[in-house]
């Protein structure tokens, strides 16, 4: 895609997100329908579903060839990365959305024949978007972001998922102890935003494709390192423990994993 096409794509999708933001913030003042999915902590609301429906309709009109992988299942069954593939996490951090009305995100990512093209993560309550891609650069709204500095794990904050820390899985307690400090945000999107804007040195969590597709695309575009903790190749269609960090902190964490 050339710069003109990328700019058009960015403006179009950012426009959808701003429309979504207005709608979702209004919805927060109204009564929501809250249901559980796999367990009592896995929530979904009418707003998650209607936001995904809104994106799916917008994507299909804009890109009739789109294959859409959305968390709430309103898109397609996507089994390979051929052609135009869109990832949709309509509300990321549904628990925060329901309980705090803050620290939730909305994420979209677009790949063409397996190649990362562009992604968007919106901090909905603050109405800010980090958007961009490898050929375009990465921006926080209008401000271009630079690669965050190479702070080590011992000198920085690590963001991780609370459940894995609590149940002492995947070496998360050792990673948290080795860091200067750790943070748990309850939203993959907000976690990636902290990392992309240089407020943390890394983020590690067990995630599903829609949780990390946008974050790894933007991180890679900004020169951060992405991978799995068991050394297997990161596959954007496969759930697993995904680590994103600056290269120094990345090595620090992998070393802890190998001990």
Name the minimum Å distance from CB 41 to ligand IPD.
Answer: 9
Among 10, 52, 151, 211, binds ligand IPD (CB under 6 A): 211
Name the minimum Å distance from CB 227 to ligand IPD.
Answer: 18
The reply to whether 151 sits near Ca ion by the rule CB under 5 A is no
3-state secondary structure of 185: coil
Binding positions for Ca ion, 33-92, rule CB under 5 A:
71, 89, 92
The reply to whether 244 sits near ligand IPD by the rule CB under 6 A is no
Closest CA to 91 of 28, 137, 138, 176: 28
The reply to whether 51 sits near ligand IPD by the rule CB under 6 A is no
246 touches which of ligand IPD, Ca ion, none (CB within 5 to 8 A by kind)?
A: none
As given in the structure block, the two tokens for residue 14 are: 């950012």
The reply to whether 186 sits near ligand IPD by the rule CB under 6 A is yes
157 touches which of Ca ion, ligand IPD, none (CB within 5 to 8 A by kind)?
A: none
The reply to whether 205 sits near ligand IPD by the rule CB under 6 A is yes
Q: Whose Cβ is closer to ligand IPD: residue 9's or residue 96's? A: 96
Q: Which residue has 């903790």 as its token pair? A: 229
Cβ burial, residue 197 (10 Å; 0-12/13-18/19+): middle
CA distance 104 to 127: 11
The answer to whether 92 is annotated as binding is yes
Name the minimum Å distance from CB 108 to Ca ion.
Answer: 12
Q: Whose Cβ is closer to Ca ion: residue 11's or residue 23's? A: 23
Name the minimum Å distance from CB 91 to Ca ion.
Answer: 5
Binding positions for Ca ion, 174-203, rule CB under 5 A:
none
Name the minimum Å distance from CB 98 to Ca ion.
Answer: 11
Closest CA to 235 of 117, 68, 85, 81: 81
The reply to whether 92 sits near ligand IPD by the rule CB under 6 A is yes
Contact 43, 93 (CB under 8 A): no
φ, ψ for residue 36, nearest 5 deg:
-105, 155
The reply to whether 161 sits near ligand IPD by the rule CB under 6 A is yes
CA distances from 10 to 49, 110, 118 (A): 23, 11, 8
247's CB contacts (< 8 A; 6+ apart) are 150, 224, 225
Name the minimum Å distance from CB 88 to Ca ion.
Answer: 9
23's CB contacts (< 8 A; 6+ apart) are 51, 54
Q: Whose Cβ is closer to Ca ion: residue 92's or residue 252's? A: 92
As given in the structure block, the two tokens for residue 100 are: 């705090």
Q: Whose Cβ is closer to ligand IPD: residue 188's or residue 221's? A: 188
Beta 84-92 vs 67-70: how paired, if at all?
Answer: parallel
Binding region for ligand IPD (CB under 6 A): 71, 89, 92-94, 161, 186-188, 205, 207, 211
Binding residues for Mg(2+): 71, 89, 91-92, 211
């Amino acid at each position: 895609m050339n710069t003109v096409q990328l700019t058009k794509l960015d403006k179009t999708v950012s426009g959808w997100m701003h429309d979504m933001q207005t709608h979702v913030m209004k919805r927060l003042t109204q009564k929501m329908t809250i249901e559980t999915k796999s367990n009592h902590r896995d929530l979904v609301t009418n707003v998650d579903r209607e936001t995904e429906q809104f994106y799916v309709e917008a994507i299909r009109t804009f890109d009739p060839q789109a294959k859409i992988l959305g968390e709430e299942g309103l898109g397609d069954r996507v089994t390979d990365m051929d052609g135009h593939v869109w990832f949709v996490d309509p509300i990321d951090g549904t628990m925060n959305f329901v309980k705090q009305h803050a620290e939730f995100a909305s994420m979209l990512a677009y790949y063409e024949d397996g190649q990362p093209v562009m992604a968007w993560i919106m901090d909905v309550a603050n109405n800010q978007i980090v958007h961009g891609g490898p050929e375009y650069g990465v921006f926080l709204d209008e401000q271009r972001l630079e690669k965050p500095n190479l702070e080590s794990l011992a000198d920085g904050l690590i963001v991780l998922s609370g459940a894995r820390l609590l149940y002492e899985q995947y070496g998360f307690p050792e990673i948290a102890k080795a860091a200067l400090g750790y943070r748990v945000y309850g939203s993959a999107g907000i976690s990636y935003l902290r990392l992309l804007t240089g407020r943390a040195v890394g983020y590690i969590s067990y995630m599903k494709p829609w949780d990390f597709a946008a974050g790894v695309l933007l991180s890679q575009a900004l020169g951060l390192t992405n991978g799995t903790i068991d050394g297997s190749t990161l596959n954007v269609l496969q759930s697993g423990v995904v680590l994103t960090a600056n290269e120094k902190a990345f090595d620090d964490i992998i070393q802890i994993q190998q001990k």
